[in-house]
Amino acid sequence: MHKLKIALLVCLAASVICPGVSAFSNVDAVNYVVSSNYFLYDGETYSAPNVPVSYGDKGYWLVPLTAGNDVVTYFPVDSETGKLSSSDSANRELFSIADNLRELQGLKASLSQGSGVEWLFTQKYQTIFNETSLSLNDEGYRLSTVDVALAQAGMQASTSGLKASLVSMASLSSQLSKSVADSAKAENDFFTSPSSDGFSKMNDSFAASFGLIASLNTMGLSYQSSLSKLKNEISVSGIDTQTKAQLEPLLRVPESLTSLRNYNLNAAQLSQAIASRQSASSMHLDSMLEQLNERVAKDRVYKLIYSDSDKLRKEGFSSLSKAQASILSTGSISLWQNQAKVVALRDDYAKATDYYSKRQFSLAEKSALLAVDDAVAVIKGGRKQVAGAAPDISQDLLFKVAGALILLLALLYAFNNRSKIKGFASKAPDEIDVYGGR
């Protein structure tokens, strides 16, 4: 008993400490879409979402309906209430977040298969740019050695401009290393807790990193140009050959700068790929929203035709399909008083099912609603009184009449046999001699 109390307290504490835990799981959301409603057509594919998408102060499971690699639409299921979101503005934002997340995951998966472009926001590149910063700082010492050698040779050239460039590039590379780390964190935050705010922060982080790489590459090219000019000045100067040979390795372009061009090219291609994915997502956002509205209409019409109907239940039928089947059956169709509504029911029901099969759900809904009203009117109008036939009596009344007849027969029997019953009741039982006498 003590352990049970502790367990209950732990559960209560967890619910207080972690109020954001979903009451409606991703599996529940899939079951709601696939099994509890009629949104899908036979053979369509779907998958369970991994994380809820945040919008405002709520979370939603975005269940994707797919055709191959493409998303047809999403079903935004409230993670607390288990209801489908019906707000167009909320759904537009939710779809944008979910689809951009899916596109980004797809892009990363394609890069891992050897496309030639690498994902930039990793520990690997954070380390590369940090080491580049350290390397560029060390490069300044080599240029100081060059300054001494040039002074001794009587040459007026200076490397001060190159040194200043190295300091700037080292600082920029250090910023880039931190920016890559920040981008990786923003990406992880968006992947684990997708939201509009998280998506914006991730995009801003990515843009900052891409911008820093481009700037660093531009500075590197400028440095290499200035370095080439200095080398040309030395080569045509009157400095002796031995000194020139000693200066040559000190004036080589740093290895870290030679790699910058490739990093910048990779970053540009990656940035373009991300932008392309996000553009594609934005372009088919309207069609996904239209598909959701169509699937909601499909579900509504299906239920109107085949599921429980409050209007018809009051008249003794559970659904429109069962009501029309009974009313329009061969043995019943001609017996109804309101034959005009019988014909209307036949026509409206046929239109409803035909429009439904053609996916014209707005027209199907209008016809189905008319068919429900037709069926109610037919039932309320009652059946015709056929000459020589028993009147249209309800089953409940028949049971009551049968009960009354049975009671009447019992009373008649008792009246006709009253003397026997009276004699039987007054006759004393035979005395029995327990000793065997008569």
Question: Do 61 and 84 touch, CB atoms closer than 8 A?
Answer: no
Mean pLDDT of 60-86: 96
**pLDDT value at position 157?**
75
**pLDDT value at position 158?**
79
User: Does the pLDDT of residue 1 top 50, yes or no?
Assistant: no
Tell me which H or E stretch contains 73.
strand 70-78
Place of tokens 């935004």: 76
Mean pLDDT of 330-354: 97
Question: What does the alpha-carbon distance between residue 292 and residue 147 come to, in Å, rounded to a whole number?
Answer: 71
pLDDT band at 237 (very low <50, low <70, confident <90, very high): confident
User: Does the pLDDT of residue 119 top 80, yes or no?
Assistant: yes
Residues 6 or more apart in contact with residue 124 via CB below 8 angstroms: none
Mean residue pLDDT of the chain comes to 87
DSSP 431: P
pLDDT band at 3 (very low <50, low <70, confident <90, very high): very low
Mean pLDDT of 100-127: 94
- DSSP states along 349-412: HHHHHHHHHTT-HHHHHHHHHHHHHHHHHHHHH-B---TTS-----HHHHHHHHHHHHHHHHHH
Q: Is 247 helix (H, G, I), strand (E, B) or coil?
A: helix
Strand pairing category for 45-46 and 53-55? unpaired
Helix axes of 339-357 and 285-306: crossing angle, nearest 10 degrees: 150
**pLDDT value at position 414?**
67
Question: Do 195 and 55 touch, CB atoms closer than 8 A?
Answer: yes
User: Does the pLDDT of residue 387 top 90, yes or no?
Assistant: no
Helix axes of 320-327 and 285-306: crossing angle, nearest 10 degrees: 40
Q: Can you read off the two tokens belonging to residue 155? A: 């040459």
User: Does the pLDDT of residue 8 top 70, yes or no?
Assistant: no
Question: Do 367 and 352 touch, CB atoms closer than 8 A?
Answer: yes
Question: What does the alpha-carbon distance between residue 167 and residue 229 come to, in Å, rounded to a whole number?
Answer: 19
| Nearest Cα to Cα of residue 342 among 321, 316, 371 | 371
Question: Do 363 and 350 touch, CB atoms closer than 8 A?
Answer: no
Q: Which of 332-336, 352-356, 425-429 has the lowest mean pLDDT?
A: 425-429
Q: Which of 81-85, 235-239, 343-347, 398-402 has the lowest mean pLDDT?
A: 398-402
Greater model confidence, 15 or 381: 381
pTM of the model: 0.77
Most confident of 21-35, 134-148, 265-279, 416-430: 265-279
pLDDT tens, 78-99? 999 999 999 999 999 999 999 9
Each as own residue / partner, the long-range contacts of residues 42-51 (CB below 8 Å, 24 or more positions apart, any chain) are 44/72, 49/98, 50/26, 51/191, 51/192, 51/193, 51/194
Strand pairing category for 70-78 and 58-67? antiparallel
| Nearest Cα to Cα of residue 234 among 173, 146, 293 | 146
**pLDDT value at position 211?**
98
Share of residues in the chain with pLDDT > 70 (%): 86
Q: How many CB atoms lie within 10 A of CB 337?
A: 15
Q: How many CB atoms lie within 10 A of CB 305?
A: 22
Q: How many CB atoms lie within 10 A of CB 195?
A: 19
pLDDT tens, 131-189? 999 999 988 888 888 888 888 877 877 788 999 999 999 999 999 999 999 999 999 99
User: Does the pLDDT of residue 45 top 70, yes or no?
Assistant: yes
DSSP alpha helices (H): ranges in 55-195? 88-111, 123-152, 160-192
Measured in degrees and rounded to the nearest 5, phi and psi for residue 429 equal -70, 145
Question: Do 166 and 142 touch, CB atoms closer than 8 A?
Answer: no
| Nearest Cα to Cα of residue 293 among 47, 86, 89, 90 | 86
Q: Which of 22-31, 401-410, 425-434 has the lowest mean pLDDT?
A: 425-434
Question: What does the alpha-carbon distance between residue 366 and residue 364 come to, in Å, rounded to a whole number?
Answer: 6
**pLDDT value at position 25?**
96
